[in-house]
Amino acid sequence: MLDDINTFSEIARNIATVLGILIGGSWSLWVFFLSRIFAGSLIITQTLKEMTTLNSFFIAIIEVRVKNIGRTKVDLEYCSINVGEITDAIYSRDRIYTIGTEPIKVDTKDPTNRAFSQLIFNDRKRIEPNEETSEEIALVLSNPILATSKTNFFRVDVVFKAKGIKKYWTSGAIYKR
């Protein structure tokens, strides 16, 4: 009788060990490999298409392309484009501006310096797997052209925020005007 109980407990222990290894291995496979395959993943690119002037203001035409390279759709909460001028090619973190829909005045030594931020892809609700979409945006750089002005640079940041999850994608570039 004692031998039967020992045999039964040994069999139960071996079954529990095998089940534990199978469940743990399945969970690890899902968390570290398979779930990443199903997550939406975007590539955001931006291209300076044209620079022109209008009434002594620089106008930059930026094309923003978004492609979903993941296997699931990505629902759009918002996508915005932000621009800030960089004087004398010096970049500082205080010249990255927050999301808004109107030009905002920036408290700097140069009162003509402004940041411009706007929402883009307003007509989009989601981006499906392998779908690519683009939009051209005209950005007004606020410092007028002066005969004595040095060459300035400007930074463009694009932020794409997914709806319902804490995930967002960004793209940033510095262009010479």
What are the residue ranges spanned by the domains of the chain? 1-38, 42-176
Q: Say how far apart CA 62 and CA 177 lie, in whole Å.
A: 12
| Strand arrangement, sheet containing 132-141 | 42-54, 57-68, 132-141
The hierarchical CATH code for the domain 42-176 is 2.60.40.10
Residue with tokens 């069999």: 11
Residue 22, pLDDT score: 92
Residue 68, pLDDT score: 92
CA 141 to chain centroid: 23
Residue 84, pLDDT score: 76
pLDDT tens digits, residue range 71-110? 788 999 888 888 877 655 444 444 443 333 333 333 344 3
Tokens of 140: 């007004």
Residue 148, pLDDT score: 46
Mean pLDDT of 13-19: 92
The residues with which 175 forms a beta bridge, in sequence order, are: 154
Global pTM value = 0.63
Band the pLDDT of 143: cuts 50, 70, 90: low
Contact 83, 156 (CB under 8 A): yes
pLDDT tens digits, residue range 36-62? 666 678 999 999 999 888 887 778 899
Cα Rg for the chain, rounded, in angstroms? 27
Strands, DSSP E only, in the chain?
Answer: 42-54, 57-68, 74-86, 104-105, 114-119, 126-127, 132-141, 153-162, 168-176
